[in-house]
């Protein structure tokens, strides 16, 4: 690079793109200070999905978290807005704001009750994944015995399709994901999962899963945690390698970004070592100082994809247009 015309092309493409981060790793706690959302907004990102609970805390945790996060956003409308439909995300882009929706990282949050799906939807949850690493009453987790989607899990997929919530297969086991993609009538995503063919990790996904996701019209979000990308490698170049692999396998229109970025001051070392059942040994979770990609790296991803020969339209899709397309179809 260094050529001025190329630089202005990167700037133009990035400025015009609607940038979408399909999953942040912000710790779901009502005491979490959301001032760190500025990391996204100042990087020119228009949408981020924040998880409000995962399978380890009690399921009721979601409610004080939703209450606190909603109040924070509604008290800072000069910078943020709550998402109802994709029109809100487009408005955020126009106004230089960050649109926020919520997701569930595991369906223990439903407490076995199908009626919870539409309640969570009413509270701003627009995406949910089945099982956080270990099996639950909905299906199988990626670090557990590979059970399929349960009977209850099947009804949950139908209910998500009905209310307009994105079905997310990240963290779940192979069979559960394949069965969910088979029965969902809407596009299905992997909000934050990398291809196993590029870096072998049990959290990453096979070519079969990637093809099945694309066949639903869905998107795979390249995730920025160093242990899922390589040997604790969260460099932009490595993220781009994962993105290029996906694009070659199923087409750039099925590739997106789900950074799983956490606020800089958060140290999860204790959390991870306290639950070796959810974060098992031999999977790199005990790596000291696990690296994570920063929101500002999405500009560099844009730059490198253009350098590698992707068209402006393809790059715009990867930066956010592809997830926007899915959200538009699912949320209505
Ligand atoms: Zn995750």
Separation between Cα atoms, residue 49 and residue 21, nearest integer Å: 7
- Report CA(158)–ligand 1 centroid distance (Å): 23
Which residues contact residue 26 at a Cβ distance below 8 angstroms, ignoring those fewer than 6 apart? 32, 34, 36, 50, 51, 261, 262, 263, 266
Q: For residue 193, how far is its CA from the centre of ligand 1 (angstroms)?
A: 8
Tell me, yes or no, whether 8 lies in a domain.
no
Q: What is the CATH number of the domain that holds 54?
A: 3.20.20.140
The DSSP string of 246-284 is: HHHHH-GGGEEE------TT---HHHHHH-TTTS-TTSS
Average per-residue pLDDT for the chain: 96
Is residue 231, in this structure, part of any structural domain at all?
yes
151 domain residue, yes or no: yes
12 lies in a domain?
Answer: no
Which pLDDT belongs to residue 64? 98
Residue 4 lies in a domain: no
Asked whether residue 75 is assigned to any structural domain, the reply reads yes
pLDDT tens-digit series, residues 177-211: 999 999 999 999 999 999 999 999 999 999 999 99
Q: For the chain, how many structural domains are there in total?
A: 1
Q: Does position 256 have pLDDT exceeding 60, yes or no?
A: yes
Q: Compute, in angstroms, the gap from residue 50 CA to the centroid of ligand 1.
A: 11
Does 277 reside within a domain?
yes
Q: What is the mean pLDDT of residues 24-28?
A: 92
Domain enclosing residue 150, as ranges: 17-331
- Give per-residue pLDDT as tens, 320-329: 999 999 999 9
Is 327 part of a structural domain of the chain? yes
Cα–Cα distances in Å, from 270 out to 267, 287, 288?
A: 8, 12, 11
203 C-alpha vs ligand 1 centroid, how far in Å?
A: 9
For residues 133 and 115, is the Cβ–Cβ distance under 8 A? no
CA gap 220, 105 in Å, rounded: 16
The per-residue pLDDT for 3 is 62
């Amino acid at each position: 690079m260094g050529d001025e015309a190329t630089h202005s092309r990167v700037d133009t493409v990035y400025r015009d793109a609607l940038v979408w981060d399909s999953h942040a790793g912000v710790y779901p706690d009502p005491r979490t200070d959301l001032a760190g959302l500025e990391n996204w907004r100042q990087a020119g990102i228009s949408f981020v999905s924040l998880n409000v609970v995962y399978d380890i805390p009690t399921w009721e945790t979601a409610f004080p978290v939703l209450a606190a996060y909603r109040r924070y956003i509604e008290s800072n409308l000069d910078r943020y807005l709550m998402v109802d439909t994709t029109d809100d995300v487009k408005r955020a882009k126009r106004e230089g704001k960050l649109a926020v929706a919520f997701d569930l990282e595991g369906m223990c949050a439903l407490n076995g009750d199908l009626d919870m799906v539409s309640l969570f939807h009413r509270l701003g949850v627009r995406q949910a994944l089945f099982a956080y690493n270990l099996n639950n009453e909905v299906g199988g987790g990626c670090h557990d015995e590979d059970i399929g989607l349960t009977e209850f899990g099947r009804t949950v997929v139908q209910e998500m399709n009905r209310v307009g919530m994105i079905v997310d297969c990240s963290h779940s086991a192979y069979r559960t994901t394949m069965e969910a993609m088979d029965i969902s009538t809407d596009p299905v995503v992997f909000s934050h999962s990398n291809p196993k063919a590029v870096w072998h990790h049990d959290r990453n996904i096979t070519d079969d899963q990637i093809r099945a996701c694309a066949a639903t019209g869905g998107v795979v979000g390249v995730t920025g945690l160093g242990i899922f990308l390589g040997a604790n490698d969260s460099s932009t170049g490595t993220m781009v390698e994962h993105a290029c692999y996906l694009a070659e396998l199923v087409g750039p229109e099925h590739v997106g970004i789900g950074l799983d970025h956490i606020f800089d001051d958060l140290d999860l070392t204790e959390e991870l070592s306290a639950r070796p059942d959810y974060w098992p040994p031999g999977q790199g979770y005990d790596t000291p100082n696990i690296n994570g990609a920063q929101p500002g790296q999405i500009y560099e991803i844009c730059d490198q994809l253009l350098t590698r020969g992707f068209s402006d339209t393809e790059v715009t899709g990867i930066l956010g247009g592809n997830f926007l397309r899915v959200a538009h179809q699912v949320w209505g």
